[in-house]
Structure 1
Amino acid sequence: MDQDIATFDFIVVGAGSAGCVLANRLTASGRYSVLLLEAGPRDDYLWIHIPIGYGKTMFHPVYNWGFYTEPEPGMHNRRIYWPRGRCLGGSSSINGLIYIRGQPEDYDHWAALGNRGWAWKDVLPYFIRSEHNTRGASPYHGDQGPQWCSDIRERHELMEAIIRGANELGVPRNDDFNGPTQEGVGYYQLFTRNGRRCSSAVGYLKPAQGRSNLRVETQALATQIVFEGSRAAGVRYEQRGRVRQARAAREVILSAGALQSPQLLQLSGVGRASFLQDMGIAVVKDLPGVGENLQDHLQLRLMYKVKKPITTNDELRSLWGRVKIGLKWMMFRKGPLAIGINQGGLFTRVLPESKTPDIQFHFATLSADMAGGDPHPWSGCTFSVCQLRPASRGTVMIKSRDPKAPPAMRPNYLSAEVDRRCAVASIRFARRLARTKALEPYLGEEYKPGDEAQTDEDLLEFAREYGATIFHPSGTCKMGSDPMAVVDERLRVHGLAGLRVVDCSIMPTLVSGNTHAPVVMIAEKASDMILEDAAR
């Protein structure tokens, strides 16, 4: 181990959606020094920055952790692939770019659970502060923030038909899912700027990297939080075969995500005492909630053959089609290269007890046997639907004291009865949409689930056989004051000094939508709290 241990005011573990925000905001005044540790490399890979490169990074051995769950009992004991970003920007460098905040009720619920300062009225200013929306400023949007949010610059014939079909079912058009109401159908806004991805690394970290009080270390895997008594005093990490250590004069902040923040806590002796003792780890703090409360959105992908050659499958099938896509992007920053995969969305209710939308669609003018896979050799599209607020709960627990060994991820999909009901109801709604008059000229055969699947049991069987993550694991270091909470309302780890968690894992309940924008908001709010506490 290196003998010279450098000291920083703050050490941030993980340069993902949250970590890049913290690195920028905590160094902005010049008063505090920050060490940002990232286990992966820099975000130099071309396909990170071109939106359709989502397909290139989905299985990349360098830029993706490529995790798999444990065999899932409710999913035919399948091990389900869980991609997570492994480079500057983290998962914001490889995600589907969709800009969704969730519903106001999500955050009001957090506050109702006892988390003061997390109601919708409290968090909306941070969403606005983070945002540079190409539509300009409004009561709901900002135009001065680092995180660019852009409209899709051209309309698609099939997406327009989907919107008309949804209108037939009573779902109104909605041109802003992050405005006054989420319910409706329309085009997504994307985290792009002029046809290029705007990850947290691009929006937040890049402008800060010239600051003398910020040090960014890549290829640096955090292996242990160093404690002095009950205070987090630093971090041990491995970099290019050498074990290094850094001290934190003020705080260690974990932003390694919902899988690796609890992993690092457990490796460092923070978690359920009996479990840690069984693993041969000395207990620093008995916190039974570490790694519990795992939640994720389960994705069910219905695919249809399209009667007209207007899909991305068609454009990618020929050399000339691919050349046209490339030229359109280079000349106009338009077309599939500028969008990624999903163009439009729909939020509606399918369960009688739901007071707000309980399902979300991602519509893609492309089809493949799995997300990020090779497109089908025929004209195709995908109606991907997920339940917004799943009741199923799982765990993330280390399997080894080796920090390089992935933890055991057990989401327990479809273990709750309401989740099974919602899965069936969402598939039935998707089929009703596909058979509307507006879509009759466009959609042909249902490739999956296929016409033979008709009963509730058939549709649930389809969900179990083909369902997969939509990449939103959350909740494993939840915020609260109950016995299973890991952090308080200021995101400080209960019972320990100098240690916070700032990422998706602090969500007590999963938000109703994609998670990147909420994590950026969490980090914006956390940075204010950290600076306030430091000033005291």
Structure 2
Amino acid sequence: MTDVEGDRFQGPLPAVVDHIIVGAGSAGAVLAARLSADPDRTVLLLEAGEVIDEDVARVPGMASTLWAGASAYENLTVPQQGLAGRRVALATGRGLGGGSSVNGMGWFQAFPEDFEGWAAGGAAGWGWADMAPYLRLIEDHEFGAGAYHGAGGPMAVTTPYHLHPTTARFIAAGASLGWPVIPDLNGATREGIGLVQSNIRDGVRHSVLDGYLNPALGRENLTVRTATAVQRIALDGTRAVGVHCAQGEVRARRSVVVCAGALRTPHLLLLSGIGPRDQLGRHGIPVVADLPGVGANLHDHPLVPLAWPLTDASALRGGYYEDPAATYQMMRRGPLSAVGQAAAVLRSDPGLTVPDLQLVLALRGVDAGRDPLPTPVIISLVALLTPESRGSVTLRSGDPADLPLVDPGYLAEQSDHDRLRAGLRTALDLFAAPALASVTGPAVGVPEDRRDVDLDDYIRASAGPYWHAVGTARIGSDEMSVVGPDLNVHGIEGLQIADASVFPTIPRCNTQATVIALAERAAELIKQT
């Protein structure tokens, strides 16, 4: 969308609609498209950010340039004791499309065991059998329709068609260590090494704007407004009746659906008097619903980045890599046409029944389309998929303009640190295999002797977020849950939540596919009311 096209999202707010959706990210765009498909429902989609620069967002290799500035909330955490007291930026998308417009586009389905864990923990109706149909529904997968994939759905899913020279070496190195080479990391067998699937079509990002929102924009019953921050939910007793914005109040005849993400959603609930009584009292906010779980259970995949210099730089300086920007502009190929190309999904301990580590090969031979780096490098990201550490989102003050206090509690549990260390060792073993060692030098900044104490220092100094925050308004029926299996907020009528904040536990994967599938199911649940 150009800036001129962005003007269509400015203008007065309607006085009353059937449904107000707060947040136009991955979940909000889905809800807006699905609910407005019913011509008898009027829908208002509100987004605090602006239209994100399409010329940048469309180019996969430019993704990292969108993780700061106007297109993202920085969300600087409180000091993290597990990270040597560092504060880190848990960035989230800010603008039309949210995370789907700025993320790394990796498409990983949650494991069946993830959904089964949700159901067993109190999220009845959210097991694998319930969610698998939605995962197929949302896909337009290059593999076609089957037991694990769909065809003709809103979201394009492809494997990289132009491979980085080290991608094959990465997979060959894994195979030499005895890891299964998996043709489909989202198929029946998901432990092993293989090509990453991404929301990229013909070398261009394919976001929820492409799949869901843009096709719905011509509907007269759908209104979209950007640069419109919701300050509080309007309540009549214990019923949500609308929202308060700086531009005014809008009333909702049927429901308010909050899709603002795992950090902004609990913040909005707290500002509206929905949350732990003692916290609300400290900030002078009248209690509407005493829900102690609001803002609790925050967690993310902790991640350690590793860099290896390419000693054989000819792979980057020949052919398509000589002028990556021109190559992309002319052919939609080269380093700018992808981010992560291959990944391994593994166990930190052979005694585990399901993998808990992810190793991703990321392209960093060029810097966002500019000149090749002085020392070409490749990056591996080591992520812990099943963290036990938990944190929180709490109020800084009762002023909606004040950002919340974000404490993910990274590596607060020693077991998380130990398993991440095991993942670091695994990555070092992978790059020591001949297929990679023959073209790379030693990992930058990592002691070669690999003593626990040295690796621990490296983790504390370099670990950070994978930008997959979840869990702060989780599904369940116990006192720490915030929504029931129908996604209605406990004790409040006409208020639903449909985003990653309702995940009871984080999936063993990047979260985009799970969020979109959840939003599809949420739309069906809301249509039944």
Q: Is the 8 A contact 1:55 1:373 kept in 2?
A: no
Alignment of 1:27-42 (within 5 A): 27-42=36-51
What is residue 104 of structure 1 aligned with on the other side? Answer: 112
Equivalent residue, structure 1, for 2:139: 131
Q: Which residue does the alignment assign to 1:11?
A: 20
Q: Is 138-147 or 496-505 further displaced after alignment?
A: 138-147
Q: Which one of 403, 421, 424 corresponds to residue 427 of structure 1?
A: 424
- Deviation per CA, 1:265-297: give whole Å up to 9, x if none: 000000000110001101010000000000101
Rounded to whole Å, the distance in 2 between the matches of 1:516 and 1:372 is: 25
**1:5–1:363 Cα change, 3 Å:** closer
Structure 1: which amino acid aligns with 2:354? Answer: T
**Whole-angstrom CA distance in 2 between matches of 1:3 and 1:441:** 62
Q: What letter is aligned with 2:172?
A: R
CA distance 1:122–1:182, change in 2 (3 Å): same
Hey, what's the Cα distance between the residues in 2 that align with 1:3 and 1:417? 52
**Pair 1:226 & 2:234 matched:** yes
> For residues 314 and 264 of structure 2, what CA distance do their matches in structure 1 show?
41
Measure the CA separation in 1 of the matches of 2:326 and 2:378.
23
SS of alignment partner, residue 39 of structure 2:
coil
- Paired with 2:29 and 2:191, the residues of 1 have a C-alpha distance of 31
TM-score, normalised to structure 2's length?
A: 0.94
Which digits, 9 at most, give the CA deviation of each residue in 1:170-198, with x for residues without a partner? 21111211111211111111111221111
Partner of 2:286: 282
* Structure-2 separation of matches of 1:457 and 1:189: 36
The answer to whether the 8 Å contact 2:36/2:219 transfers is yes
Contact 2:471 2:502 in 1 (8 A): yes
Question: 1:420-459 counterparts in 2 under 5 A?
Answer: 420-451=417-448, 454-459=450-455
2: distance between equivalents of 1:448 and 1:520? 38
Partner of 1:329: 328
Deviates further, 78-87 or 376-385? 376-385
1:148 positional shift? 1.0
RMSD across aligned positions (CA): 2.1
2-structure distance, mates of 1:286, 1:95: 35
Give the C-alpha shift of residue 311 in structure 1: 5.9
**1:340-351 equivalences in 2 (<5 Å):** 341-351=339-349
Q: Distance in 2 between matches of 1:321 and 1:232?
A: 55
Output one character per residue of 1:383-403: Cα deviation in whole Å (capped at 9) or x when no partner: 111110100000011101221
Change in Cα spacing, 1:162 to 1:388, as seen in structure 2 (3 Å) is same
Query: In structure 2, do the counterparts of structure 1 residues 372 and 525 end up closer, same or farther at CA, with 3 Å as the change threshold?
Result: farther
Distance in 2, Cα, partners of 1:206 & 1:82: 28
Query: Percent identity of the aligned residues?
Result: 38
Contact 1:308 1:379 in 2 (8 A): no
Unaligned runs of 5+ in 1: none
CA distance in 1, matches of 2:12, 2:92: 33
Counterpart code for 2:234: V
| 1:113 equivalent in alignment to 2:111 | no
- Residue 83 of structure 1 deviates from its aligned partner by 1.6
Aligned residues: 519
Deviation at 1:456, TM superposition (A): 1.4
CA–CA distance in 2 between the matches of 1:468 and 1:373? 26
Report the secondary structure of 2:442's partner residue: strand
Q: Distance in 2 between matches of 1:247 and 1:434?
A: 57
Deviations 1:1-27 (A, max 9, x none): x99961111100000010000000001
SS of residue in 1 equivalent to 2:26: coil
Tell me by how many angstroms 1:117 deviates: 1.4
Match of 2:198 among 181, 187, 190: 190
Matched with 2:6 is: none
Q: How does 1:290-369 map to 2 (within 5 A)?
A: 290-310=294-314, 324-339=323-338, 341-366=339-364
**Native 8 Å contact 1:58 1:372 kept in 2:** no
Gaps of 5+ in 2: 1-10
1:82 aligns with 2:82: no
Q: What residue number does 1:49 align with? A: 58
Partner of residue 481, structure 1:
477
Q: Distance in 2 between matches of 1:216 and 1:414?
A: 40
* Separation (CA, whole Å) in 1 of partners of 2:105 and 2:13: 41
Alpha carbons 2:321, 2:335 under 8 Å: kept: no
Q: What letter corresponds to residue 465 of structure 2 in structure 1?
A: T
Residue 261 of structure 2 corresponds to 257
Deviation at residue 322 of structure 1 after TM alignment: 7.0
The question of whether the paired residues in 2 share the 8 Å contact of 1:311 and 1:380 is answered with: no
Secondary structure in structure 2 of the residue aligned to 1:47: helix
Q: Deviations over 1:348-383 (max 9, x none)?
A: 1122442111100111232699x9999752121111
Q: Deviations over 1:461-506 (max 9, x none)?
A: 2111111111101000011111100000111101110001100000
Q: Distance in 1 between matches of 2:34 and 2:13?
A: 27
Evaluate the alpha carbon distance shift between residue 517 and residue 374 of structure 1 in structure 2; reply closer, same or farther with a 3 A threshold.
farther
Question: Among residues 513, 521, 526, which one is paired with 1:525 in the alignment?
Answer: 521
Give the alignment partner of residue 410 of structure 1, picking from 389, 407, 410: 407
Give the residue type in structure 2 aligned to 1:443: T
Whether the 8 Å CA contact 1:311–1:381 is kept in 2: the answer is: no
**Pairwise CA distance, 1:327:** 3.5
Q: Which whole-Å CA distance do the structure 2 matches of 1:308 and 1:322 have between them?
A: 13
